Structure 1
Amino acid sequence: MNRPRTAERSSRTALALLGAHLVGEVRSELAARLPETLALVLLNPLKAHEPLVPDRFVRATAAWIEGATEQTAAWDASAMLSVVASDDLLNRILLQLPAGYDLLFGRPQPA
C-alpha cells in the first residue's frame, strides 16, 4: 500500500467530514493551515444531515479509504489534526463537534 497516498486520502476524507460540522472562523483558521488542495476540501464540505458522533465519523472515514480499518482511520485523522491545529484551535474545533471527539483527537477534556 502506498502510505503517502493513503495518508492524503485519509486527510481528505477526514477534512470533508469535519468540514460539514465546522463553521465560521474555526473552519477558516484550520483551512489557512492546510495546503491549498486540502483547504478546498475543508471549505467545500459535504452537507451533513445530522452530526456525526465519533464512532460514526471513524466508520465513515474508514469506509472511504481502501484498505483502512477503523483503527487506522482514527489514527490518521488524529495525527492530521494534531499536526495542523494548535492547542487553542483544536479546543475551538472540539467545541463545535459532538461529545467524544476530544478522546478521538487525543485531547481528553475534564468531565
Structure 2
Amino acid sequence: MQWRQLVHDIRLSGRYTTSAEAERVVRAVLTVLGGHVSGDERCALARLLPQEAAEVFTRQIPLTEPLSAPAFVDAVAGHLTHVSAAEARWATGTVLTLLARHAGDELTRRILAELPRGYALLFGLADLTPAAAA
C-alpha cells in the first residue's frame, strides 16, 4: 500500500471532503497508536504501512501503560484540535478499522491483546471478551 492510497482509502471510508483532511486524521491516529503498540506487533504493523505512515507510527515511544479506549479517542481529538468527541471517535474508528482490514485477523488480534478492553470496537470488531464476574 502506498501513502496516497492509504489517504485515499481513509478519505472514502471516513467521507472526508479533502485529502488534506484525511491525511490529518491518519497522522493523528497513527501518532497516538504508535504509543500503544510494541514488540513484534509494532514491527509487523510498521512493515505493512507505507513508509510515511510507518515513520509517523514508529516515531512514538510506546507507553508503559496504554490509555483506555475512551482516553485514546480523547488523545486523537487533542491531535486534531477543533473536533467534537464524536468526530474524534469517527476518525479513530475509520483509521483503525482500515488498518485492521489491511493487517488481517491474526495481527489485529495480537495488537488487541496488548490493549485494554474496549479497543475492539475502535478496530471495527465486536468486543466478545466476557465481562468479569462481580
Q: TM-score range by the shorter chain?
A: 0.7 to 0.9
Residue in structure 1 matched with residue 88 of structure 2 by the alignment: 73
Q: Name the CA distance, whole Å, in 2 between partners of 1:70 and 1:87.
A: 28
Q: Name the CA distance, whole Å, in 2 between partners of 1:4 and 1:71.
A: 20
Q: Deviations over 1:57-95 (max 9, x none)?
A: 111111211442222222222222222321222111111
Q: Name the CA distance, whole Å, in 2 between partners of 1:44 and 1:5.
A: 21
Q: Is the 8 A contact 2:96 2:124 kept in 1?
A: no
Q: TM-score, normalised by structure 1?
A: 0.84
User: Which runs of structure 1 show a deviation greater than 4 angstroms over 4 or more consecutive aligned residues?
Assistant: none
CA distance 1:82–1:103, shift in 2 (3 Å): closer
Superposed, which structure 2 residues align to 1:71-110 within 5 Å? 71-84=86-99, 85-110=103-128
Residue in structure 2 matched with residue 45 of structure 1 by the alignment: 60
Q: Deviations over 1:15-41 (max 9, x none)?
A: 111111111221111112211111011
- Which 10-residue stretch deviates more, 69-78 or 97-106? 69-78
C-alpha RMSD of the superposition: 2.0
Q: Name the CA distance, whole Å, in 2 between partners of 1:81 and 1:103.
A: 9
Give % identity: 36
Q: Name the CA distance, whole Å, in 1 between partners of 2:61 and 2:31.
A: 6
Which is greater in Rg? 2
Match of residue 63, structure 1, among 78, 81, 86:
78
Q: Per-residue deviation at 1:46? A: 4.4
| Structure 1, gaps ≥5 residues long | none
Q: TM-score, normalised by structure 2?
A: 0.71
Q: Work out the number of aligned pairs and report it.
A: 111
